[in-house]
Structure 1
Amino acid sequence: MKKTLAVAAIVALMSAPVFAANTQGGFTGPGSTATTTSQGGGFSGPNGSVTTVEKAKSMRDDAWVTLRGTITERLSDDVYTFKDATGTVNVDIDHKRWNGVTITPQDVVEIQGEVDKDWNSVEIDVKQINKVSK
């Protein structure tokens, strides 16, 4: 009896990711093929001031930014090109950050995250992404 319960518990744990994968979201556009899972909850309200890509590139490492623009292309698994009126920057969006939302290059999005500066590059490590009505 204990073995049967143990096997049933293991099967249930192993199949949970399969059921969670049914909630789709993420970027739909050039280079996209990935699926994501949904994780609900979080703060919904005023996000502070929105900055520009040009200003974000000159901010210090780990500075918190809010940007509004479009995601134009997928470059690799989690890296995308983000564009606003002042320029473009690469953004790193982990699969869990999509929260079941599907984004296309025509959608205006608001992203919040941290500036990630290396020796000769700037990237935004996205912590939250929302589709904005035009």
Structure 2
Amino acid sequence: MKKLPLIALISALVAAPVFATNGGFAGPGAVTTTSPQNIQGGFSGPNSSETTVAKALELSDDSWVILRGNIVKQLDHKHYEFTDGTGTITLEISRKRWNGINVTPTDKVEVSGKIDKDWNSREVEVKQIQLIK
């Protein structure tokens, strides 16, 4: 007898995210189409996290940044030197973040990640990387 309420509760918890797929920001710059790509919701507009290397070097630990520039060389298996013309910073990019793209020093990329500040260094722990066309 107690199994029925438990099954109903579990079904409601599993189905809740399905009903919450619509939503997000509707205002200046928002995408208003209802195509399958936009069902997830969210914000579409200017990004306040986009910054330069010079500014990123001054940010505190765990600050989110978006940088645009070039990866100029590989330092070891997951560390790379990045520049955008305002300075250089080390990127930590794990293998799974590459998503099959190949990048050369002449390719312009956009990296998103968080600042990882140690005693005497700062680097960006990259969560996403993409080529800029």
Asked if TM exceeds 0.5, the reply is yes
Distance 1:46 1:130 in 2: 18
Poorly superposed stretches of 4+, deviation over 2 Å: none
Offset at 1:46? 5.7
Give the equivalent residue in structure 2 for 1:92: 92
Number of equivalenced pairs: 90
1:5-30 deviations in Å (ceiling 9; x for gaps):
xxxxxxxxxxxxxxxxxxxxxxxxxx
Q: Report if the CA contact (8 A) 1:47-1:66 is conserved.
A: no
> Is 1:71 aligned to 2:71, yes or no?
yes
Change in 2 beyond 3 A, CA 1:96/1:46? farther
Give the equivalent residue in structure 2 for 1:60: 60
Of structures 1 and 2, the one scoring higher in RCO (CA 8 A, sep 6+) is 1
1:12-65 deviations in Å (ceiling 9; x for gaps):
xxxxxxxxxxxxxxxxxxxxxxxxxxxxxxx9x767242000100100100000
5 Å-filtered alignment, 1:1-134, equals: 48-49=47-48, 50-133=50-133
When Rg is computed on C-alpha atoms for both structures, the one with the higher figure is 2
With normalisation by structure 1, the TM-score equals 0.64
Q: Counterpart of 2:114 in 1: which secondary structure? A: strand
Identity %: 49
Q: Counterpart of 1:54 in 2: which secondary structure? A: helix
Q: Counterpart of 1:111 in 2: which secondary structure? A: strand
1:48 counterpart letter in structure 2: N
Q: Which runs of 5+ in 2 are unaligned?
A: 1-41
Q: Counterpart of 2:120 in 1: which secondary structure? A: coil
1:98-133 deviations in Å (ceiling 9; x for gaps):
000000000000000000000010000000000001
2:96 counterpart letter in structure 1: K
Question: Which one has a larger percent strand, Structure 1 or Structure 2?
Answer: 1
With normalisation by structure 2, the TM-score equals 0.64
